[in-house]
Amino acid sequence: CWKILHNMTPEAEELKLQAFPLDQVDGIFVRSVKNCIFSESDPTPLKGPLRLVAVSKEVIEGMLGLDVAVSQSEDFLQYFSGGKLFPGSSPLTHRYGGHQFGYWAGQLGDGRAHLLGEYTSRKGERWELQLKGSGKTPYSRSGDGRAVVRSSVREFLCSEAMHFLGVPTSRAASLIVSEEAVWRDQFYNGKVKKERGAVVLRLATSWFRIGSLEVLAKAEELDLLRKLLDFVIQEHFPSIDSNDPGKYLIFYSRVVNETAHLIAQWMSVGFAHGVCNTDNFSLLSITIDYGPFGFMEAYNPNFVPNTSDEEGRYSIGAQANVGLFNLEKLLEALTPFPFSSKYYDQLYHSRFHKLFKAKLDLLGEEEEDEYLIAFLLKLMEETGADFTMTFRQLSEASMQQLHNIYFCCLVERNKPFTSEMIKLSTGINPRYVLRNWMAESAIRKAEGNDFSEVELLQRILAQPYLTQDAAEEAGYAAQPPWWAQGLNVSCSS
């Protein structure tokens, strides 16, 4: 922890504090906040005995440059559960707004998250350290500022799993649970139950999101909007010349391009975010704010992981269109600097087809490639084929086996199917993803203080392309068990 203290960069946080006016109102009571980007707000310590139940060695050692043994100290438990503050630390909570399910929701903000500061690794990489579930803030609205074990397990496991799938994402360093009672109506049906509080230590290069700019535009705080834009460009888009009069156009074009690429990557692994609101879309085009996400099992473009999404606005097949909607809302926030997002569709479809060609390892550029991909997906939809395992099993099959299956007979009516054209690879198509039933199985045990399956999943999902005996024994590549039928995930956490 002293190494963390040494590498926390107060000058970076001081830069934020100098660049932007802070909330002039003290206290953590809920309020409408104006003319600032951040409010100062200390975490609220978790009550009861604390227990470190998961830690990412890859994050602690690979990103922070620490010995993972530091996580076993009492100081680590206290600093990263909100019980202690680093000397000189001024934790911040971020003011942002957002369009939720298509409608402007007004001020939202960090309702249960605290930015501890910026950490510089020995490789010179800078990471913003944030606690999630660390107590009330001025942005908590009617919430209690806490997160519970089930949602925290899901966030910890999925952010790490997405990283090892090669998808840009925030990271999770640790998961600490307590005996503090947290009351939740999980499915909004009036059945409130007692759960336990938990805090995730998560990292990202930045937590700014589309809603960070939207709230300033809606409040007509245009000077602050320009300051934030300039700060984001200077700090996170160094290839953009800050003196270029067209810098905002270049910035916006970069966000359009990278958002299209990110959503195409989600699609390539069958990932549905579940709550694609503008407040959950990073300006740096990384996956953030894991809530009621889901990995698609049987291929279905209408797959909706979130039971709160009754209209299916954020179905997996709608994610590309939602991305465009969110970019258009970003564009509205930038109306003082008008330009267009007309190339988004082209960028998304280009990236989508490139990724799915890689999943099928189609070589060269053939006019029929697009048809082949569409044909396969339609066939999978009609037959209810498992998304992950269909591509994986094609990867593992021999050419003779492929020629003997019905799929190839159908395809060859329209396109020759040769070993020169297709060479399937298990290095692109994962065997294991964090299916809801797998997360639910680990959560049920965790709620009884058995975190063994959390540890197992963390280990398995760190090598999703490698066939592993422990994973096969647990059935992680098999059909879901009978009890998993009808599993639901909601926004409640």
Catalytic residues: 279
**Contact, 417 vs 403, CB < 8 A?**
yes
Structural tokens at position 88 = 């000189």
Cα(254)–Cα(169) distance, integer angstroms? 17
φ, ψ for residue 137, nearest 5 deg: -140, 175
Residue 67 tokens, joined:
């010995």
- CA–CA dist 120, 15 (Å, integer): 15
Q: How far is CA 18 from CA 5, 22, 231, 400, 423, in A?
A: 21, 9, 11, 66, 55
Write the DSSP symbol of residue 287. Answer: B
Which SS3 state, helix, strand or coil, does residue 24 take? coil
Residues 6 or more apart whose Cβ sits within 8 Å of residue 385 = 298, 299, 379
Cβ atoms of 109 and 95 closer than 8 Å:
yes
Q: Kind and range of the H or E element at 100?
A: strand 97-100
Cβ–Cβ < 8 Å for 114, 137: yes
